[in-house]
Structure 1
Amino acid sequence: MLLVFSFCFPILSLVSASEDQREIKVNPGQDVSLLCQGLRDASVTLLEWTRPDLKSDGYVFFYRNERPYENYQHESFHGRVELRDPEMKDGDASVVLKNVTFNDTGTYECRIVTNTRQEIKHLIDLNVTDSDHTAGNKEGLVTIVLSGIIALLVVVIFCICRNGKKTQGHYSYELPAEKTGDLVTQ
């Protein structure tokens, strides 16, 4: 029994994982930190940042043997991804993605393997949106709606005033004519 336990324990520790998922929103052209935290008291032996939704080979960032390997990166990430802390102190395996574009929108997965054979995974949903443009669209929509309401009110007021003048004109036209008619008969 002890033999089975000592054989299975390293395998269990290798596949144990901590997964959480966050969402980050950022504007195009900005730099963004993709956070990934490993164990504070263990050194990182392997770090893989991937985008599972990309159908091609290549990593967002790849680190092994105490150094990053840019030649394993997907071409769209060349020269744009670096470790936030090159020494990865306290298990910080976060990366900085520079000059994001709309094409960077997607789910990013960080996978850390430590010297204790611990595997940790983190998921991040990155949403690159032009929030200033979206806010402008909302403000523009409000302006259009308010302008339409004001225009409608002007038309309604104009119609009410026009009908009131016609009614007043009709009575004022008939009254003098009747008086004129009364004067003529006398």
Structure 2
Amino acid sequence: MSAVVFLLVCFLSCSVSEEQTVKSGDDVTLQCQGPEHEAITSLQWIRPDLKKKTEKYVFFFRDHKIFEDYQHPSFRGRVQLMDPQMKNGDVSVILKNVNTKDSGTYECRVSVNNKKSELMNIINLKVKDSGQTSGNTQTEGNLGLKVGLPVGIGILAAVVVGFVFYKRHKGRFDQRI
């Protein structure tokens, strides 16, 4: 039973991956939610596909300070916190004036109370040349999440209920056989 509860908790709390498509020249908000009632000591937005480890940062914040020197040169001066106070754990960033080279995977990692950073969100950003798409859309990646998440939760809930029902009535079934 504890394994089922663990799977349910992990399923509901694990990071979510989404896809965003924007046109070149637009600004895009990369959404990420950290813990609401804990002190965020470190925030890292990274592009794992960038070559040098020291230049994987899209945005780096630690101990109440933004470190632009740690950013990949192509992101300097183009990234800012959506909410500089990070109220309610909102650690989303705005990437300004995107271009096709900004297409890729973005990871949001948060550390609270100086503990090891945890992956909070993954965004696959696609930047199209101007005129091929309009604005900041999230329908492609979220459609599967909107359908799959409730279905998965429903199936998991049915398994848990079935297991509990079986355990409670196991003696009755054994007596009949």
1:67 shift after superposition: 1.2
Larger mean CA deviation between 44-53 and 108-117 belongs to 108-117
Q: 2:93 matched to 1:69? A: no
Q: Percent identity?
A: 50
For residues 58-104 of structure 1, the C-alpha deviation after alignment (integer angstroms, 9 at most, x for no partner) is: 21000001111001100000000010000000000100000000000
Asked whether 1:125 is paired with 2:121, we answer no
Quote the Cα distance in structure 1 between the aligned partners of 2:71 and 2:132. 32
- Aligned pair partner of 1:28 in 19, 24, 27: 24
Q: Give the alignment's TM-score, normalised by structure 2.
A: 0.63
**Which fold has the larger relative contact order, with Cα–Cα distance below 8 Å and residues 6 or more apart in sequence?**
2
Count residues in correspondence: 119
Cα distance change on mapping 1:102 and 1:52 into 2, 3 Å: same
Q: Name whichever structure is richer in helix by fraction.
A: 1
Deviation at 1:121, TM superposition (A): 2.3
CA RMSD of aligned residues (A): 2.0
* Residues in 2 aligned to 1:62 and 1:68: alpha-carbon distance in whole angstroms: 6
Distance 1:119 1:113 in 2: 6
TM-score, reference length from structure 1: 0.60
Q: Which has the greater radius of gyration?
A: 1
Distance 1:25 1:70, change over 3 A: same
Structure that is richer in strand per residue:
2
The residue aligned with 1:41 is 37
How many Å apart are 1:131 and its aligned residue?
6.5
- Structure 1 unmatched ranges of 5 or more: 1-16, 136-186
**Offset of residue 119 of structure 1:** 2.8
Does 2:85 align with 1:87?
Answer: yes
Moved over 6 A (4+): none
**Alignment partners' CA distance in 1, 2:59 and 2:132:** 31
Give distance in 1, aligned partners of 2:105 and 2:73. Answer: 17
The alignment partner of 2:131 has SS state of helix
